Structures are given as structure tokens and as C-alpha cells.
Structure 1
């Protein structure tokens, strides 16, 4: 069963499993509109790997899968699979720009340590899953 959470009149999620910043929403809406996919959203997921144990992933997705948590925040549909939601609960998707370019990032209150590159993280001091993620930032 897919879980969908209501939004208030401004489109901000009332249930805060995951949310998106104002700037992140502006960037995501532009990308979603140009994707050509009707009713598409941003799928945010976790996979094993990276230098700290887990790695973030994002993709444009027009499918709602069994067990997905779906949150509409600031007009952006965020989709999270059932395996990733516990590690992403309370997170905020943001877009950052710096001298090296720009991109989406995840501000994760569940991460107890993260890689210097910001693409991978570990929770509660646990070892990397399956012994992965010990090779430094170049191992993504």
C-alpha cells in the first residue's frame, strides 16, 4: 500500500517524513516540467556504498510503487521506497550552488557521520553494510 500524506493550502507537507527546501523545490519543479513525464516526482533513495556506508540517490520517477511514502511539499512530489524511509525520515532535500557547480543534496538528521563530499553517510556509528565504503571519497 502506498502512503500519501496531506499538504496544507501552500502545498507544504503536513506530515514531515521528508521535505524539500524552497530553493530545492524551485529547481526540482523546473526539472520535472522539462522531463515530459506526467505526474512525475523526485524519487529519493538510499543504497549501500560510498565512503561512509550509505549513498544518496535521486531520480525523476512517474511510478508510485507498492510501499512508497509519498509526500507533496512546496508543489514537489517526493517518493521514498519502504527500505529507504527509515534512513531518510526528517530529511530535507536542498539544492546548493557553489564554485564547483550546483546540485541536490540531502540534509539528514539521522546521519552520525558523513563523507567530506556529502554524498554518503553512516548512522549511529555503525559499520558500513557488507564491509563496503572504506575506500575514501574516491570510492563512490
Structure 2
């Protein structure tokens, strides 16, 4: 579910999808933070492939933020980052090599082995 930054209304279609696993992990992380904490996901220049994802805890919602909520998990994405992430799926993976958030981004032409860097 997404809350539109301009109107504050709720839309059924979300530009970013959270998996059940990601929502559980986000809730767990945020439960240890002060009231009102949200996960901010952004795209920055850099990394091995040209762009990289950043994950931060934030208590401030900006006017241009897209808010994605699922089962109590709240994710913020700024409008610039959304251009690079629209249609992406945010997942949390726990496998033999470790635990991490993974983003399946339909705009990424290539990604790095680290999982947080990509190119378009």
C-alpha cells in the first residue's frame, strides 16, 4: 500500500513491493528504534556498478517521500530514488552466506556481487 506524497491518500498499487519476509525483518528492526522510526531506502551514485542502495533508519518523512507500508513495516523512498526503483521488489534473504535485504529491480541492467550496487 502506498500513501501519495501530494494528497496523503492511500493507493492500492505500490511502486515498490515488500515481500512478507522483508516486512517481518523491517518490523523487527524498527521495534528496537524510537517511536516513529521508518526504514529509508535510497539510491546514491557510486558503488562498483554506478549506483548503490542505501538503507537508513529515519524518523522524518519529507514532502516528496513515497511511503510503502505492509503489515506495520514502513519504508520511505524519496522521489529521485523512486525513478531508479519503480517496480522493484524489496526482499529479506537469510541463506548460507548471510542475511540481507535484496532488491529485485527491473531497471537494473547489471548488478555487482555485493547485492547493493547496480547499473542501468
Partner of 2:58: 61
Partner of 2:95: 98
List runs of 5+ in structure 2 lacking aligned partners.
none
**Structure 1: 4+ residue segments shifted above 4 A:** none
TM-score by length of 2: 0.87
Aligned partner (choices 66, 82, 86) of residue 83 of structure 2: 86
Q: Distance in 1 between matches of 2:16 and 2:114?
A: 22
Matches within 5 A, 1:21-100: 21-35=19-33, 37-100=34-97
Give 5+ residue unaligned stretches, structure 1. 8-13, 124-140
Q: Distance in 1 between matches of 2:9 and 2:76?
A: 11
Higher strand share: 2
1:133 alignment counterpart: none
In 1, Cα distance between the equivalents of 2:104 and 2:54? 13
Deviations 1:15-73 (A, max 9, x none): 221121101111110110111x2122111100011111000011111110121111212
Residues 38 and 61 of structure 1, relative CA distance in 2, 3 Å threshold:
same
Count of matched residue pairs: 116
Q: Distance in 2 between matches of 1:5 and 1:58?
A: 25
Find the residue that maps to 2:109 and give its secondary structure. Answer: strand
Q: Distance in 2 between matches of 1:39 and 1:109?
A: 30
Superposed CA RMSD in Å reads 1.7
Alignment partner of 1:2 is 2:5: yes
| The structure with more radius of gyration | 1
